[in-house]
């Protein structure tokens, strides 16, 4: 279980103010995010405080469709109610956001500072309408500040685990991008949980966030337009299977053989690749939804013919699709992306085994749109000696893995089964 306390999405303890039906918050912590409450919770808050139910609907409309930046600006509500909402809840849990634009305006990377100073990021990727395809706007969001899994090619893994995000902190990244798009008459068409963090280790809040994104009264995005990516938290995958189709599940593989995957995705030491694929297979057959497997291409590490054949063997007869992702550069690793011709050859091997495969193009490399990079920049450069030691260790570990030797290290801490 994650050890860091997280802000509750429920209202803090309330005390009645003499002469008013409206409550007063105890002024201890940052108020919880209003967007993290579901419609029933919001309604009961109003009913408990002597207000009509329809107020909940007005607030949800203002949160998800309006332009208000605080409860004070919601003019459909009476003044004392605006004031009480402002006192008890945060209208927006993102204290500050810096947006960097690249790819000729097609990629926007937003770095968000949360109330306690934690930094997370979201990336908006615009795909203009072309060749009969409608315009698409995909937002990549974070589910945790940092990540405990510690994949060495990932900038978030480099940061380590800071804390889980609350439901409101997850959906407020979406509200922020939706507002930016609405200014130009656009809207979000897809959301992927592929930013910072391991969503299946913060599953309760991720599920509540998906509910909000799905709900017609809130964002109203269909389940088919939402993808959640996991590095292979088997109990979380099994729990999702029990819930039925909620979204597309993506599984980050990066290696088909345990010795190498132990190094690239340290969670593999707890849930080995065959168990991950078995859980994903059950998910696909029970929900009827194809699994999307992610495979980051790292030059000379996981991109050989042998790797392609092992992957083809692992996914034989699976209801699956493979995305090959050229590795985005990350400062503290000794590795780089495989060259384009090697990626093509790898894809060809998979296609020959009748596995559907797509080669993804890098987005926003110059603004660090790989997982976690802007936040890593802000965290400051680690001392040169520790970078050198880390690189040496990775070279040593990957060389041993390529010889087929499995590491005896334990799975990383803070990667319990999640909630």
- Distance between CA atoms of 101 and 124, rounded to whole angstroms? 9
Q: How far is the CB of 344 from ligand SAH (least distance, A)?
A: 17
Alpha helices in 220-339 (DSSP H): 234-243, 258-264, 273-287, 305-314
Mark 155-184 with x for binding to ligand SF4 (rule: CB under 6 A) and - for no binding: -xx---------------------------
Strands (E), 290-367: 291-297, 320-326, 357-359
Question: Could you tell me if 331 and 373 are in contact, meaning their C-beta atoms sit under 8 angstroms apart?
Answer: no
Say if residues 329 and 365 touch (Cβ distance below 8 Å). yes
Which one among 42, 77, 145, 151 touches ligand SF4, defined by CB under 6 A? 151
SS3 label, residue 273:
helix
3-state secondary structure of 41: helix
Binding segment for ligand SF4 (CB under 6 A), chosen from 111-119, 149-157, 310-318, 381-389, is 149-157
- 154 included as an active-site residue: no
Report the site for ligand SF4 in 225-264 (rule: CB under 6 A): 231
Q: 150 touches which of ligand SAH, ligand SF4, none (CB within 5 to 8 A by kind)? A: ligand SF4
Give which of ligand SAH, ligand SF4, none residue 415 binds (C-beta under 5 to 8 Å, depending on kind): none
Are 200 and 415 within 8 A, CB to CB?
no
355 binds ligand SF4 (CB under 6 A): no
How far is it, in rounded angstroms, from Cα 377 to Cα 391? 18
- Figure out which of the listed residues 154, 165, 343, 357 binds ligand SF4, where binding follows CB under 6 A: 154
62 is an interface residue for ligand SF4 by CB under 6 A: no
Helix (H, G, I), strand (E, B) or coil at 350: helix
Is residue 140 annotated as part of the catalytic site, yes or no?
no
The one catalytic residue among 43, 108, 121, 158: 121
Six-digit token string for 165: 């995000």
136-140 and 291-297 beta bridge pairing: unpaired
Taking the least distance from each CB to ligand SAH, the nearer of 350 and 371 is 371
Q: Which is nearer to ligand SAH, 56 or 145 (CB)?
A: 145
Stretch that binds ligand SF4, among 146-154, 167-175, 313-321, 397-405 (CB under 6 A): 146-154
Residue from 371, 376, 394, 401 touching ligand SF4 (CB under 6 A): that is 371
- Quick one: which H or E segment has residue 109? strand 107-114
Least Å distance between CB 154 and ligand SF4? 3
- Residues designated as active site: 121, 371
């Amino acid at each position: 279980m994650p050890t860091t306390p997280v802000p509750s999405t429920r209202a803090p303890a309330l005390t009645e103010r003499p002469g008013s039906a409206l409550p007063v918050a105890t002024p201890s912590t940052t108020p919880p995010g209003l967007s993290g409450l579901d419609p029933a919770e919001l309604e009961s808050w109003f009913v408990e405080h002597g207000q009509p139910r329809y107020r909940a609907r007005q607030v949800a409309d203002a949160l998800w469709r309006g332009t208000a930046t605080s409860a004070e600006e919601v003019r459909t509500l009476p003044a004392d109610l605006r004031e009480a909402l402002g006192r008890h809840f945060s209208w927006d849990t993102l204290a500050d956001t810096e947006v960097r634009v690249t790819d000729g305006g097609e990629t926007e990377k937003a770095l968000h500072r949360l109330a306690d100073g934690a930094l997370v990021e979201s990336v908006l990727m615009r795909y203009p309408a072309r060749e009969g395809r409608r315009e698409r706007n995909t937002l990549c969001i974070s589910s945790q500040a940092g990540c405990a899994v510690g994949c060495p090619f990932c900038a978030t893994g480099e940061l380590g685990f800071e804390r889980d995000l609350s439901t409101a902190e997850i959906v407020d990244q979406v509200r922020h991008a939706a507002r930016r798009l609405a200014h130009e008459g656009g809207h979000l068409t897809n959301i992927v949980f592929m930013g910072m963090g391991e969503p299946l280790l913060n599953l309760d809040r991720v599920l509540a966030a998906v509910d909000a994104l799905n709900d017609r009264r809130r964002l109203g995005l269909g389940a088919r337009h939402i993808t959640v990516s996991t590095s292979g938290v088997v109990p979380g995958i099994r729990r999702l299977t029990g819930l039925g189709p909620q979204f597309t599940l993506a599984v980050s593989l990066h290696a088909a053989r345990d010795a190498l995957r132990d190094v690239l995705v340290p969670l593999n030491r707890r849930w080995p690749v065959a168990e991950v694929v078995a859980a994903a297979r059950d998910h696909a057959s029970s929900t009827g939804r194809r699994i999307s497997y992610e495979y980051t291409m790292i030059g000379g590490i996981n991109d050989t013919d042998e790797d392609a054949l092992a992957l083809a063997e692992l996914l034989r007869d699976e209801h699956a699709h493979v995305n090959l992702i050229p590795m985005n550069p990350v400062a503290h690793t000794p590795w780089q992306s495989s060259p384009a011709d090697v990626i093509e050859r790898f894809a060809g091997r998979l296609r020959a085994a009748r596995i559907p495969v797509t080669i993804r193009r890098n987005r926003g490399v110059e603004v660090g749109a790989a997982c976690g990079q802007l936040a890593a920049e802000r965290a400051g450069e680690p001392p040169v000696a520790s970078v050198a030691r880390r690189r040496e260790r990775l070279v040593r570990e990957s060389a041993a893995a390529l010889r087929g030797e499995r590491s005896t290290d334990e799975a990383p801490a803070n990667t319990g089964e999640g909630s």
